[in-house]
Chains A and B, each alone.
Chain A
Amino acid sequence: MRFTRLPAIEEPVLEPPYAGKPFFSATFQVLAVPHYWLAALHQALVFPLTALVTSIVWFTWLTSAVMLTLTPLWAGLAPFGDAVGPGADRLRGWNLGNFMAYIVTLGERADAGTTTATVIGFTALGLGLVALYPLVSRGLVWTHWGIDRLLLGRFRNEELRQELSRTESSRVAAVVAEDRSLRRLERDIHDGPQQRLLRLQLDLAAASRQLDTEPAAARALLDSSLVLARDTADELRALITGFAPPLLADRGLAAALEALAARTPGTVETEVRIPGPLPAEVERGAYFVAAKLLANAAKHAEAGRIRLTADVVDEPGRALMLSVADDGRGGAQFVEGHGLTGLAERVRGLGGAFEIASPVGGPTSARVTIPLPLGG
């Protein structure tokens, strides 16, 4: 099978039958696994039958091809013209060659012209069979491969399950990342705006009580309430901008990346080629990764020049490629709790890949690939 260059048949995923199971279920559980039954069926019945049938086909085809191609030879050996005796006479000399000669000459009754035509026809037929032989042989191998795959290979749902467990791990990463940012948002709202609004109610209620008796104190409270309300609005705005940058929501990734680059201190060259809107989660993810990478480059790497590129590529699969390179001092590392780990997690959550090369002394270059749905 290995020489056929057909795709390898994936082995079924079998759980270790005995591991940590009680004696009976360890013994009998095997009976419940369809793969074992199918293997037995294959071994006892299907394989011998298939082998028999295919070998018969193969042998018949090959012999017919050879015999027919060699028809001129048999025709030459035919003893026609003389010795038209009783059949018993010639029986002695009967072998494969004579048999063919007999057929070619239509039982020796044909004249020379008809015989020549028959010889040519048979030879052509033989050559045809020879020419088709590779196809037949391939077909037979396919038959074996197909049957084996059906009985011995993974079931379709097992392939799906494998695929699923790969997706699962990226989904878990996404959930973890999302959960973490939601918790942070909740804490930020609780510590900031929520406390300020409470204090605001407190102050306004006090001002209302003091309005008639101590107008000056009430006015002071109202003034400070105004400041408090403004601070709350500022804080909420900062929170929301950090969570969902308005330009990204309004104009999409390309515009948001350009604005991001313009906002980043230092010289940021951009090359953004994103045709049309991408899925919202990809745009958000890509934006945050770019923002973090640009901030790192500007803050930690002391980079003089930063280059941001974003591209949608079609090979090997449709994907968004994002890269941030700087000429700074490098040394960026994956450390638990460091921003890079979170970035990688976020990218993995989108089913993408995150690579960074940052030797001490620089330069640093980070590359993010996020797969995109086809035609999306």
Chain B
Amino acid sequence: MASVPAPSSLRVILAEDSVLLREGLVRVLGEAGFVPVAALEDATGIQDAVERHAPDVAVLDVRMPPTFRDEGIQAARALRRRFPRLGLLLLSQYVEATYARELLESGEGGIGYLLKDRIVALDDLGDAIRRVAAGGTVLDPQVVSELIATRRDPLTALTPRERDVLGLMAEGRSNSAIAARLMIGVGAVEKNVASIFTKLRLVDSGSEHRRVLAVLAFLQR
């Protein structure tokens, strides 16, 4: 389903300092049916560029000039304040739970945080960009699995199926996406979700974004 290019042709702006990767990303985005409106080599001019090109989604590298630390995260937070409806997708060689948390807490709009490796799978990249553009949340499975792996209590209260659902929930997937992924009915997913929230004593606020935050907060404590 995800391999079909979106008819709306989402406009994407890109900030990535490596030429090799920047060119590759532009090509891949075009291939996936998106419109790359601009490709910047750092985040300094991103605000003006977004103003000028009015993209639906900004794809940002985390480490960029001048300091090669967390420029992308800072830029994402600044963009979130000024353009609340812009979808943000952060790509990085590493995923840090700390950054995931910060990005999710920066606001309610669509946000994604993925390992750069995921761009290889065109379907995954396209899916992530569309979800972020639609205001959804995308969290790299590695962040989630790391959080789950280092828990002292390995969530023994949950059934294996519930643990799978929890992981996919933390990645920001909707109930229907979880159902498709696990090849079960949406009703079954809803039952699992309700059971997880009861067992972990979490409050389901309904919003997908808040749901991810609640699950993440639980996994980090």
Chain A interface (Cβ within 8 Å of chain B)? 226, 230, 233-234, 237, 240-241, 246-247, 249-251, 255, 258-259, 262-267
Contacts and interface: CB of A to CB of B under 8 A. Distances in A.
Interface stretch (B17-25, B91-99, B183-191): B91-99
Contact of B96 (A237, A240, A246): A246
B52 interface: no
B139 to A, nearest CB: 16
Contact of B70 (A226, A241, A251): A251
A215 B96 CA distance: 41
A65 to B, nearest CB: 72
A234 B120 CA distance: 13
Contacts of B93: 237, 240, 246
B220 interface: yes
B205 interface: no
B146 interface: yes
A250 B70 CA distance: 6
B152 A267 contact: yes
A251 B69 contact: yes
A195 to B, nearest CB: 20
B70 A262 contact: no
B31 interface: no
Contacts of B63: 246, 250
B117 A250 contact: no
Contact of A264 (B69, B97, B120, B150): B150
Given A263-B146, A265-B152, A247 B96 contact: yes
B97 A230 contact: no
A211 to B, nearest CB: 20
28 contacts: A230-B117, A230-B120, A234-B117, A240-B93, A246-B63, A246-B93, A247-B96, A247-B98, A250-B63, A250-B69, A250-B70, A251-B69, A251-B70, A251-B98, A255-B98, A259-B96, A262-B97, A262-B98, A262-B150, A262-B220, A263-B97, A263-B150, A264-B150, A265-B150, A265-B151, A265-B152, A266-B152, A267-B152
A263 B221 CA distance: 10
A230 B120 CA distance: 9
Contacts of A250: 63, 69-70
B120 A259 contact: no
A234 B96 CA distance: 15
Given A251-B69, A262-B220, A246 B94 contact: yes
Nearest to B73: A250
Interface in B79-121: 93-94, 96-98, 117, 120
Contacts of A259: 96-98
A230 B142 CA distance: 14
Contacts of B97: 259, 262-263
Nearest to A298: B152
A264 B147 CA distance: 10
Given A263-B146, A265-B150, A249 B69 contact: yes
Contacts of B117: 230, 233-234
A258 B98 CA distance: 9
A265 B69 CA distance: 27
Interface string B151-183: 110000000000000000000000000000000
Contacts of B96: 246-247, 259
Contacts of A251: 69-70, 98
A230 B115 CA distance: 12
A251 B150 CA distance: 22
Nearest to B92: A246
A175 B70 CA distance: 31
Nearest to A234: B117
A307 to B, nearest CB: 15
